[in-house]
Amino acid sequence: EKVSVVGLGYIGLPTAAVIASRGIEVIGIDVSEKAVNTINQGKVHIVEPDLDMVVQAAVNVGKLRATLTPEPAQAFMIAVPTPFKDGHKPDLSYIQSAAKAIAPVLEKGNLVILESTSPVGATEQLAEWLAEYRADLTFPQQVGEDADIQVAHCPERVLPGRVLEELVSNDRIIGGMTKRCSERATALYKTFVRGECITTNSRTAEMAKLTENSFRDVNIAFANELSVISDELKINVWELIALANRHPRVNILSPGPGVGGHCIAVDPWFIVDSAPESARMIRTAREINDGKPDYVIQQVSKAADEFKRPVIACLGLAFKADIDDLRESPALDITAKLADMNIGEILAVEPNIHELPPKLLDKAISLVSLKDALDKANVLVVLVDHKQFKAMTSADINSKVVVDTRGLFSNK
């Protein structure tokens, strides 16, 4: 059997390498010549623990090969981005391009799996695109129980940083367009997944993935709202949540400077876009989390007012702890906006990067070490709970005013 993986990014490449490591021949397809060449040399173009070793081994034994042009295979797995466009509308153009690319090489009996996180109905839309782009068939033959191509949605659910482990150990939701599609897809996943494979239809599978990330977003929004209420009522929100979580049926997540990354800050909008009138709580949660950076900025501005010459140190730029990923990062936004406000000198500390990102380059911000920041600043803004920051003591803080969005000093 031959499996083709379309899109060799954070999800596609690890998936391709893991399947190849089970002795199955895998062809990876990507539009980036650089990615294709790097992989064919047994190297990787993305950062993920142990991925380099697995890719190198698979390429060396000839089980994994990358190409720019699709070729025939028994199964195709699509793992391309699904970002949103202006107005929070899902952008399915990468899925459409993937359908266009593989349609000419599809053969009767092939399995096509959509792994990308997608709005409800995207898998049905994919099946329609495949039919449209296949010259040899007309649309009605393509869908329903009689379809000659089996289509299923099996959303990826792995946590960046633990991808290789979670790819194998997580349970998988398998949403076939028909029962037969689900059975075919299950057989493929069983070759490398140790978790359970649970079947459903494609629309439920799409909604399940969006629900997981929305659940987390709503819970974080609750925590963020509590943090603002607690400030008003002069209560320490960290102590409050720790106490409430002592109840056996309460489990509140942590407040922060806002929600970042390309999953939790994006996926709930797909539900809102599909059901704008009904998705009231999910929309409000997004608005609460998106509004948190402005609240933090107001707090910093108040803190800066206490000094004649404010020197503001922003601790962390990444979207979460101990990674170098700056995508959709509230910490980055807050730092950029503070610089635009001209309320003082701005220092940025980010132990996981070595130069300022493009978004901050034209601004009056200096990237400094934590030690320099602690020496010079009179206002500290904790934006990310990196391990280096967790190690700070009350002596480091001294007489500085601290805006602590991650609760690092709540017990110090």
Least Å distance, CB 261 to ligand SAJ, is: 3
By CB under 6 A, tell whether 254 contacts ligand SAJ: yes
By CB under 6 A, residue 227 contacts ligand SAJ: no
The 365-367 sheet, strands edge to edge: 365-367, 345-349, 311-315, 379-382, 401-404
| CA-based nearest residue to 156, from 166, 165, 147, 146 | 166
- Give which of 88, 75, 155, 150 is closest to 116, Cα–Cα: 155
**Residue 227 or 378 with smaller CB distance to ligand SAJ:** 227
Residue 143, CA distances (Å) to 100, 310, 377 in order? 17, 65, 63
Q: Is 20 in the site for ligand SAJ (CB under 6 A)?
A: no
Specify the residue, 110 or 227, whose C-beta has the smaller distance to ligand SAJ: 227
Q: Could you tell me the end-to-end alpha-carbon distance of the chain, in angstroms, rounded to an integer?
A: 59
Q: Note whether 259 binds ligand SAJ by CB under 6 A.
A: yes
Which listed range, 72-80, 156-164, 173-181, 336-344, lies at the site for ligand SAJ (CB under 6 A)?
A: 156-164
Alpha-carbon distance of 386 to 41, in angstroms, equals 34
User: CB of residue 212 vs ligand SAJ: minimum separation in angstroms?
Assistant: 4
Identified binder of ligand SAJ from the candidate list 126, 147, 154, 158, rule CB under 6 A: 158
175 is a contact residue toward ligand SAJ (CB under 6 A): no
Query: Considering Cα of 282, then 96, then 125, then 143, what sign does the dihedral take?
Result: negative
**Position 70 contacts ligand SAJ (CB under 6 A):** no
196: left (phi over 0), alpha (psi -120 to 50) or beta: beta
Is residue 154 part of the annotated active site? The answer reads no
What part of residues 25-64 is at the interface with ligand SAJ (CB under 6 A)? none
- Could you give the string, one character per residue 351-390, with x where binding to ligand SAJ holds by CB under 6 A and - elsewhere? ----------------------------------------
Q: Which is nearer to ligand SAJ, 259 or 271 (CB)?
A: 259
Of 328, 340, 292, 258, nearest to 88 by C-alpha is: 328
The one catalytic residue in 209, 292, 314, 320 is 209
**CB of 322 within 8 A of CB of 353?**
no
Q: Is 209 a catalytic residue?
A: yes
Determine if 319 is a binding residue for ligand SAJ (CB under 6 A): yes
> Which of the following is catalytic: 263, 292, 314, 320?
263
Let me know: does 152 contact 182? Beta carbons within 8 Å: yes
Q: Kindly list the catalytic residues.
A: 209, 263
Binding site for ligand SAJ (CB under 6 A): 117, 157-160, 212-213, 216, 220, 253-254, 256, 259-261, 263-264, 319-320
